[in-house]
Amino acid sequence: MGKDKLRRYAEISDFNNVHELEEGKELKGAWNKIQFANELPVILELACGKGEYTVSLAKLFPEKNFIGIDYKGNRIWRGAKTALEEKIPNVAFLRIQIEHILDYFEDGEISEIWITFPDPQPQESREKKRLTSPRFLEMYKRILKKGGILHLKTDNDALHAYTHEKIAELGLQLHVRTQDLYRSDFADEVLSIKTYYEKKYLAHDKNINYLKFSFQH
């Protein structure tokens, strides 16, 4: 591991807006009380990377709380540091494997989930690793409040098609679907937030897919 990565891992352990692994379990059911000291809705960004989307959403919606989740601490460092430097109080980060998410959030604790440019896990043998597989969707259903919305934004056409298929198979409610976001009528201020990787995809004229859906409780 390079010196920069080691330094960032060391730094985030002292950030008051970052929670890691076992320590994060102490906040289950108490994110509003312990981390944010308010009763505002809590929104997650899964596979948040450097946290650009999490931080941007927090700036746009000060009346909501946002938690970015990723396993790579050197990536989370960037978003967490920006939030601290800019004194953005409604942002936190959680460094965990997303497959353990039920250990960190109580049933019905979350209002909304964003999944932004996750690893598409294209191999058939890795379907269960896809963040929109039935296995993960069942977890999200538990932690989401009734009527809670899920968003998938991806450059990967196959992951978009797979997720759309699962929405139909599982009887979920589809609100919005587009296979070319920036040439659609849906690209508002929120959906036009662009991560580092998204900017790279767009530079190569890659279409961006978007799905908005929810569970029919």
Active site residues: 119
Residue 40 CA to residue 64 CA, distance in Å, equals 5
Q: What is the dihedral of CA 51, 56, 61, 62, to 10 degrees?
A: 70
Rounded to 5 degrees, φ, ψ at 177 are -140, 130
Q: Checking DSSP bridges between strand 144-154 and strand 110-116, what pairing results, if any?
A: parallel
CA distances (Å), origin 147, targets 144, 156, 173, 214: 8, 27, 10, 6
Residue 151 CA to residue 200 CA, distance in Å, equals 21
